[in-house]
Structure 1
């Protein structure tokens, strides 16, 4: 765990915790308001959370070459997550403009 400085570790861990909290809060709000598109937004955030966890795991093991595949997995999860979030945001936008 020597490859990153303590402040960088703090940011990595805080980001994973923030992302988890955001997913939970958005899910709760969508349940309370019975807003399915908002729930899809929360679900679409999960691949990005998994991507962050892959990055942290790779750093925990000092960026060892044996785990280089985690970098590829992280990149793929980021693309999937960003695409899913874009679709979920568009779906949320459509719902909000229809109800106006």
Structure 2
């Protein structure tokens, strides 16, 4: 008779596992479908944003080139400032080393 008392527990456990696996599958499917629709939407927007004619393409490329030239000028200015700071600090270290020696010898 112990067999009938353990059988309902097994059935309940099996039902819980089945419901859990089904829920995981449904949620995964819905999430995957949502991601796919997001990717498709982004691709459509990308295609709309791309220039269609040769004149539009040339204008877009010229605008991109202008942005890159401006970025290059900014980086060159930063590099020049850095070079000047490096030169002034190297000159300051040379001068600073001799000044500190003179100050310590005066004690």
Q: Whose radius of gyration is greater, 1 or 2?
A: 2
Which is helix-richer, 1 or 2?
Answer: 2
Comparing both chains, which one has the higher relative contact order based on Cα–Cα distances under 8 Å and sequence gaps of 6 or more? 1
Q: TM class by shorter-chain length?
A: 0.3 to 0.5
Task: Give TM-score, length-normalised by structure 2.
Answer: 0.31
TM (norm. structure 1) is 0.33
